[in-house]
Amino acid sequence: MEYPSSEKAIRNYCGGTYSGAIDQLDYIAGMGFNAIWISPIPLNIDKETIYGVGWHGYWLNHLYQLNAYFGSEKDLLDFIQAAHKRDIWIMLDVVANHVGPNVTTNYVPFDKYEHYHQPLCFIKDYNNQTQVEYCSIGNEELPLPDLNTENSFVVSTFLSWIDQTIRKYNFDGIRIDTFRHVRKSFWKDYIRSADVYSLGEIATSNTSYVGKYQFVADGVIHYPLYYALKSVFTDNNQTRKSMTTLEQQVQQNELYFKDTTLCGTFLDNHDQDRFLSYTQNRIRIQNALVYLMFSDGIPIVYMGTEQNFTGNPFVKNGAGDPWNREALWRTGYDRSNWIYNFIKKLNQIRLLLKQIYGETFFRAHQQTLAVDQYTYVYKKGPLIVIVSNQSFPKPKYISLPCEIQCNKWKELLSGKTHQVNRPNLFRINNELPKLLLSVA
């Protein structure tokens, strides 16, 4: 794959538009996805900085103007309408914590001293919640002024804006950026005004800390699980952790989250290293994707994973920002890629389970059946899921639960039916992932 010539080049707009997204809805629907998370829509800072321009959408300049680089108001409305015709929902990324870097004094409508936390400070200690909420997430080189979300004008402006934006464009959900950086009471009012599904971002591995925020939003982006998945499914033999790490995370989920089935699960995103930079082992990738799609939560697949994006291997930290945000069209939207087709198969199985068991399947919480260093087996509703992170020297046996004696199990990935000779005792011969349903 051809890479941008420089970091500066990739930190600028490169042509993505709402109308272009309409043209590729069939590519997305072809994998079986029924929701799309899009970038923030307001006008961003477009003056050049040491980190480029606000092409990502998180550097607010004018709240009431759309980012024209993405398209017009009509383009956005047409995109959402076209998605809805395909039964694809649209989740809008929103930012209320900060504005873009202070290369301008013309922020609209937040143009007064009192609209920002003063004096300007930077977060030095993320264990200090006062700093987290009142100081800037930027730095001395590139300050991102922190909005005063205690100020009545700031609060009323955002509540009115989110209400009007959701209604005008008919968005189906919101992903809330920098969720932990604003007081929880503000978000409760904001989410009430939005009146759609809400998903908050709290970028830390601390399960008890992240879990508390699910009592504010419908769900949170499951960062604790992300860190566990990355450590379990890496190709690095020295750092790879046991599969018991996943089971321990499930226990923590049940202890601290309100309902993990409403949280967003992921292997990577625009803020983190490309997951596929940690593993190029085909079977390990399959196991990670199976766990993502059939564990508790709403699976989120980051654009480019289906095309085996790994970032830029030729530069230092090339798996992370900004190299993890490369343009998708350079692949030609290749539908023959094996990961594209494996994700398609997984979504077909999810649809089958929905047709048979309804939404109750997705709301069921997984229950551990067995776990050792290399293999994790759990039950989610009627489905038995078997995932491993490496090969093992000899076969394993697992007792499969069944209300009656079951001796036939359909493996949904291969389509094969397995005969169990001894009552309910299933033999695991290799590290390939398995999805089992009883057919007895």
pLDDT tens digits, 218-242: 999 999 999 999 999 999 999 999 9
Q: Which domain holds residue 149?
A: 7-364
The average pLDDT across 420-432 equals: 86
Domain termination residue (choose one: 315, 333, 364) = 364
Give the count of beta carbons closer than 10 Å to the beta carbon of residue 297: 25
Whether residue 432 sits in one domain with residue 352: no
Q: Identify whether 146 is part of a domain.
A: yes
- According to the model, what pLDDT value does residue 136 have? 97
Domain termination residue (choose one: 299, 334, 364) = 364
Q: Identify whether 263 is part of a domain.
A: yes
Decide if 219 contacts 262 (C-beta within 8 A). yes
Whether residue 347 sits in one domain with residue 372: no
Q: Could you tell me which of 209, 215, 214 has the C-alpha nearest to residue 227?
A: 209
- pLDDT confidence of 3, banded at 50, 70, 90? low
What does the DSSP assignment read for 335-347?
Answer: TT-HHHHHHHHHH
Whether residue 275 sits in one domain with residue 136: yes
Q: Identify whether 202 is part of a domain.
A: yes
- What pTM was computed for the model? 0.96
Determine which of 29-33, 157-161, 361-365, 401-405 has the lowest per-residue pLDDT on average. Answer: 401-405
pLDDT tens digits, one per residue of 328-383: 999 999 999 999 999 999 999 999 999 999 999 999 999 999 999 999 999 999 99
Burial 260-276 (b: 16+ CB within 10 A, else e): bbbbbbbbbbbbbbbbb
Whether residue 377 sits in one domain with residue 344: no
Whether 177 is a known active-site residue: answer: yes
Task: State what percent of residues in the chain have pLDDT above 90.
Answer: 91
Identify the active-site residue in 46, 93, 177, 268. Answer: 177
What one-character DSSP code corresponds to residue 52? Answer: B
Whether residue 417 sits in one domain with residue 321: no
Q: What is the CATH number of the domain that holds 394?
A: 2.60.40.1180
How far does Cα 274 stand from its chain's mean position?
A: 12
Identify the active-site residue in 46, 93, 201, 247. Answer: 201
Burial 362-382 (b: 16+ CB within 10 A, else e): bebbbeebbbeebbbbbbbbb
Residue list, annotated binding site for Ca(2+): 97, 133, 146, 177, 181, 201
Structurally, the chain folds into a number of domains equal to 2
Whether residue 371 sits in one domain with residue 360: no
Residue list, annotated binding site: 59, 97-98, 133, 146, 175, 177, 181, 201, 271, 325
Half-sphere exposure of 56 (CA within 13 A, CB side): 19
Give the count of beta carbons closer than 10 Å to the beta carbon of residue 109: 13
Q: Identify whether 288 is part of a domain.
A: yes
pLDDT tens digits, one per residue of 265-303: 999 999 999 999 999 999 999 999 999 999 999 999 999
How far does Cα 22 stand from its chain's mean position?
A: 21
- pLDDT confidence of 143, banded at 50, 70, 90? very high
Whether residue 250 sits in one domain with residue 392: no
CA angle 207, 208, 210 (to 5 degrees): 65
- pLDDT confidence of 439, banded at 50, 70, 90? confident
Q: Could you tell me which of 217, 59, 50, 67 has the C-alpha nearest to residue 137?
A: 59
Please state whether beta strands 197-200 and 173-176 pair in parallel, antiparallel, or not at all (unpaired). parallel
- According to the model, what pLDDT value does residue 191 have? 98
Q: Identify whether 303 is part of a domain.
A: yes
Distance CA 116, CA 255 (A): 37
User: Any idea of the CA torsion for 35, 40, 43, 45, to the nearest 10 degrees?
Assistant: -140
Whether residue 173 sits in one domain with residue 111: yes
- The pair of three-digit structure tokens given for residue 7, joined into one six-digit string: 């970091």
User: Residue 213 is which amino acid?
Assistant: Y
Decide if 136 contacts 98 (C-beta within 8 A). yes
Q: Identify whether 2 is part of a domain.
A: no
User: Residue 297 is which amino acid?
Assistant: G
Residue list, annotated binding site for substrate: 59, 98, 175, 271, 325
Q: Identify whether 1 is part of a domain.
A: no
**Residue 440, pLDDT above cutoff 70:** no
Q: Could you tell me which of 394, 373, 376 has the C-alpha nearest to residue 385?
A: 376
240 vs 405 pLDDT, higher one: 240
User: Any idea of the CA torsion for 178, 199, 17, 308, to the nearest 10 degrees?
Assistant: 90
Q: Identify whether 195 is part of a domain.
A: yes
Q: What is the CATH number of the domain that holds 297?
A: 3.20.20.80
Whether residue 338 sits in one domain with residue 412: no
- pLDDT confidence of 407, banded at 50, 70, 90? confident
Decide if 201 contacts 176 (C-beta within 8 A). yes
**Residue 247, pLDDT above cutoff 70:** yes
